[in-house]
């Protein structure tokens, strides 16, 4: 806990703890497996866990532990509970540990923790707002070693999550197996399949806004094999049967409990982009569609730039080609203005 970020004092008198708070964030670095377990279970059997249970200040943890402790199901359950409770998490990284082993569990670097702190303390037009962002591709298994996917890198969704964070939003970032790392200072939920993504999205709601930038597979293999498929020398390829995946955008736009205040979908098209995207907005029931042309010659899918058309109930607005970070900042500003 760093005194430059906050001043938290405790005094033990007759079994009572007196707290004095002069900040909006408590940073726990390193956060051990034991302390995370205490936090998740609401235990208060030492000074640190008592302070964390007694405060209503936001908490940021930087986990650090042995790789087997990090991978243990109990630790992952505790981590999920902490995130559900609103605890912010930065790291851990993969690397060499004090015990001599190598793997995930190494505490985030100081500059990463500082960036997460700055994001958590940032004041902006989206302060106090919760925004859900999906990103990356989904992988639909054929067998335990093969899957159906697409060329999405996750770069645009990642940039958008960072831009929303920088405007002060609390961001839940649900990502498929992207080729770019998730941004710091957001709640990251990693999934692989479309059905897993839908479950993660529903668990993250309610939200003030939801932006569906993920390139979700429309279909999954209904007869996926439990073991690796083998060639039998006959020259015959296995017959794959397909089933339609759930429509995440439409599900959230039309949810019985009420959709977020603003629902934004993405439409990756290769022809008649505006017409297809306009029809998609009406069909899905969302507020906005961000459409782009991902034909191979554009270099957009998996590339560093994007050229989008923002489609709303009032019409279509073409944006010039620019870096994906710039697109993200512009869209984040429009979202902030719409939420008011």
- In the CATH scheme, what architecture does the domain 130-339 have? 3-Layer(aba) Sandwich (3.40)
What pLDDT shows up at residue 4?
Answer: 40
What values do phi and psi take at 299, rounded to 5?
A: 70, 15
Torsion on CA atoms 279, 284, 287, 292, rounded to nearest 10: -50
| Domain definitions of the chain by residue range | 8-121, 130-339
* CA end-to-end span of the chain: 35
* Candidates 99, 127, 222, 243; catalytic one: 99
Torsion on CA atoms 140, 143, 145, 146, rounded to nearest 10: -50
DSSP string for residues in 120-156: HH--STTTT-EEEEEESB--EEEETTEEE--S--SHH
Whether the bond into 149 is cis, omega within 30 of 0: no
What pLDDT shows up at residue 14?
Answer: 35
* CA gap 244, 217 in Å, rounded: 9
99 is an active site residue: yes
Matching fold, domains 8-121 and 130-339 = yes
Rounded to 5°, the CA angle 2-7-13 comes to: 120
Q: How far is CA 189 from the centre of its chain?
A: 5
Residues in the chain, pLDDT under 50: 1-22
pLDDT digits (tens, 9 = 90+) for 215-259: 999 999 999 999 999 988 888 888 999 999 999 999 999 998 999
What pLDDT shows up at residue 122?
Answer: 66
| Contact call for residues 136 and 305 (beta carbons, < 8 A) | no
- In the CATH scheme, what architecture does the domain 8-121 have? 3-Layer(aba) Sandwich (3.40)
What pLDDT shows up at residue 185?
Answer: 79
* CA gap 10, 53 in Å, rounded: 13
* CA gap 72, 1 in Å, rounded: 26
């Amino acid at each position: 806990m760093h005194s430059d970020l906050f001043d938290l004092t405790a005094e033990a008198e007759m079994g009572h703890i007196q707290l004095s708070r002069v900040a909006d964030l408590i940073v726990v670095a390193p956060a051990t497996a034991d302390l995370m377990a205490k936090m998740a279970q609401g235990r208060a059997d030492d000074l640190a866990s008592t302070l964390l249970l007694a405060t209503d200040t936001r908490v940021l943890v930087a986990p650090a532990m042995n790789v087997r402790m990090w991978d243990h199901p109990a630790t992952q359950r505790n981590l999920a509970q902490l995130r559900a409770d609103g605890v912010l998490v930065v790291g851990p990284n993969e690397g060499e540990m004090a015990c001599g082993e190598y793997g995930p569990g190494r505490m985030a670097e100081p500059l990463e923790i500082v960036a997460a702190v700055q994001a958590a303390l940032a004041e902006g037009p989206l302060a106090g707002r919760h925004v859900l962002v999906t990103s990356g591709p989904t992988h639909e298994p054929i067998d335990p070693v093969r899957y159906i996917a697409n060329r999405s890198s996750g770069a645009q969704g990642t940039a958008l999550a960072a831009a929303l964070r920088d405007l002060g939003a609390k961001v839940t970032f649900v990502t498929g197996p992207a080729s770019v790392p998730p941004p710091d200072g957001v709640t990251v939920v990693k999934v692989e399949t479309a059905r897993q993504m839908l479950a993660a999205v529903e668990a993250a709601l309610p939200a003030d806004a939801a932006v569906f930038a993920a390139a979700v597979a429309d279909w999954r293999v209904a007869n996926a094999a439990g073991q690796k498929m083998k060639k039998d020398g006959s020259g015959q390829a296995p017959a794959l049967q397909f089933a339609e995946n759930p429509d995440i955008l439409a599900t959230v736009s039309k949810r019985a409990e009420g959709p977020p205040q603003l629902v934004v979908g993405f439409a990756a098209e290769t022809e008649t982009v505006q017409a297809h995207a306009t029809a998609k907005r009406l069909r899905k029931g969302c507020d906005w569609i961000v459409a782009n042309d991902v034909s191979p010659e554009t270099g957009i899918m998996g590339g560093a730039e994007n050229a989008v058309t923002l489609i709303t109930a009032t019409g279509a607005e073409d944006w010039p080609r620019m870096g994906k970070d710039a697109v993200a900042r512009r869209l984040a500003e429009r979202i902030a203005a719409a939420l008011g």
